A and B are shown apart, each in its own frame.
Chain A
Amino acid sequence: MGLLSKKDTRLILDPLADNNPITIQVLGICSALAITAQLKASIVMAISVMAVLALGNVVISLMRNIIPSKIRIIVQLVVVAALVIIVDQILKAYSYQLSKTLSVFVGLIITNCIIMGRFEAFALGNSPWRSFLDGIGNAAGYGVILIIVGFFRELLGSGTLLGFQVLGDPINKTGLYAIGYENNGFMLLSPMALIVVGIIIWVQRSRNKALIEDH
C-alpha cells in the first residue's frame, strides 16, 4: 500500500464492518430500505451516494476554513443539493427507466443522514484527500448493506438477479421451479426490507459481541 498509509486504509475499511453507517451508526436508512426490491436499483443507488458523498466531502473540506460555523448547515445543503441535481440529471439522461424506479429517492440523497453526518463529523476537520477516502469508505459501507438486502430480496422475491432468471423459469417450470419451488412475493413488499436489515444486524452483532447494546 504505497499510496495509502495505514491510517488511510482504516478510513476505508472501518465503515465496511465494525463502524457501518447503517447497522451501527444508524444513518441513511430511509433510502436503504425503499429501493432495495431490485439488485440493480440498489447498485445504482450505492454508486450515486458514493459519488455525492466523496465529492461533497472534498468540496466541504476545501471550504472548511471559510465557512462561518453559524450557517454551515445551509452551505452543506447547497453543496449536496447541487451534486444530487447533477446525479439526477445524469440518471435521467442515460437510464431513464431506472430513474423512474428510484423516483423521489434520488432527491432524498440530499437529506440522507450519512452525508450530513460525514460532513459534520469528518470533512469539516480534515484535509481533502482524507475526506475523500472517508467518503468512499462510508458510502461503500452503505452500499454493501444495500447490495446484500437487494440481493436477497430480488433472489427470494422474484427469483432473478439483475433481471436474469437464475433459479429457472417460473412459467415453464424449469430449474428449481420443476421441483415445486415458489417465489416468495412477500419479499418484494416494503416490510421485508426492514426485517432483512434486522436480520443483518442480528448476524453482525452475534459475530461481534462488542457491538451489543444494553437496551
Chain B
Amino acid sequence: MTNSPLTPGIVPGRLPAAAYARNFDDHEPAFDMHEARVAADRCYFCHDAPCITACPTSIDIPLFIRQIATGTPEAAAKTIWNQNILGGMCARVCPTETLCEEACVRETAEGKPVEIGRLQRYSTDVAMAKGVQPFTRAARTGKRVAVVGAGPAGLACAHRLAVHGHDVVVLERRPKAGGLNEYGIASYKATNNFAAREVEWLLQIGGIEIRTGVELGRDVTLDQLKADYDAVFLGIGLAGVNALRAAGEDLQGVRDAVEFIAELRQTKDLAKLPVGRDVVVIGGGMTAVDAAVQSKLLGAENVTIVYRRGQEKMSASGYEQDHAVQAGVRIIHNAAPVRVLGGAKAEAVEFAYTEDGPGGLKLSSETFTLKADQVFKAIGQTLAGAPGGLAVEGGKLKGHAAKVWVGGDCALGGEDLTVTAVAEGRDAAEAIHAALTGG
C-alpha cells in the first residue's frame, strides 16, 4: 500500500519516507560563527535601545549582541537568560518581527532589522551545548512553592524561585513538562527535541521537582496546595478549546488543531501520522498556521485556512502568514463556517462570506463550499479547569490572591506569547520571593 497526496480520506504515509525529515527540518537554520559576527556587527548599540523596550522580558539586546560580536557568545547567553531563562525557545518561536526586530532602528532605516532572534538562538545554542547551567542557587530558604503547570510561565517561575533558594514542586497534568513548547508549536520551529532539552537544562539549577500526570482539580485542589506550600503559582494555560458552533461539528474528521499539533509533536515517525487529502483549517492565529503548514508538510494535497475577518485582523504574524503561503497553504479571509457537510465523515465545509462592520460581524447570503476530509478548529483556547474562588475577567484569571499568583496564557494581560508567559512567571517569582522573605 502506498499513499500519495491524492489518496482520499485521512491516511498516513502520503510522502516518500525521506521527505518527512526534510519537511520538518529546522525552518530557519542556525547561524554559524561568521554569520553571527556579521549579523552582530550590524547592531548600532543604541542608547536606551527600543528593542529592549519592545521585548516583553526586557533582554539587554544591544549588550548580548556586542558580546557575540566580541567572540563571547556564552556571556551573551547569560545576558539573555538573566531576563529570560527560556531564551533558547523564545529565539525560535517569538514573533520577533512584531517585537524587538520591529523596534530595531535599522528596520526604520532600511527595512532590514538586526536579526535579533537568530542571534539570540546562536548564543543560547552555543552556551547550551556546553551543558552547564550558568546560574547557582542562593542558600536554601526552607520555603516551598507549588507551581501548577510546567509550561513557559511555570518553568520561568520555578527557575527564578530556585535561584532565590526556594524549593519548588511543579505539577503538570501532561506526561511531559514544557507546556506549549512541547505540545503546542510547529515541529520545524524547535527541532531535535529542543523543548525537552531546554527543560532538562533548566532543571540543572536544582531545587525543582516536576510531578507529571498531576492535574489541579482532579488530583489536587488549590486549598490543599495553599495548605501544604508557602505559595502557589498558577500557570495553567488555556486548556479549553472554543467550539465551532456550526452544524456537523461532531462529524468524523473534525478536530481541534491544538490536539493535532500535540499529537504531531509526540509522534516519532511522522510517516505514520494520518492527514487528510483536503484539509480545512478554521481560524486566524498561530495555531491555525502551525496546523495548516504541518498538514501540508505531511503531504495533504490541498490545505486552506479560512478566517472570518480580514487579513489585518489575523493574529498570526505577517511572517507566519507568508510562511504558510510559501508552504502552499491557501488563506481565505472574510468567511465563516456555516456547516460541515458529510455522512458519518466530514466531506466538505460550507462557508458564508462575512462583512465586518460597526455592528459586528455579519454573514452574507453568499456561500461557498470547500472539499474537506479533515477539518481543524483553531478558533481560540479558553480558560478551563481553573479553581473557583479566583477573580476572573475577560475569561482570564485576574491578578494575585492570598498565597496565589498567576501568569502565562491563563492570566489577564499581555499577549498569549511564550515570551510574555516567561516574563509573567519570572515576575511572579520575584513577587513570591519578596512576600516569602518579608520584602
Do A and B originate from a single complex?
Answer: no
A-binding residues in B (CB < 8 A): none
B-binding residues in A (CB < 8 A): none
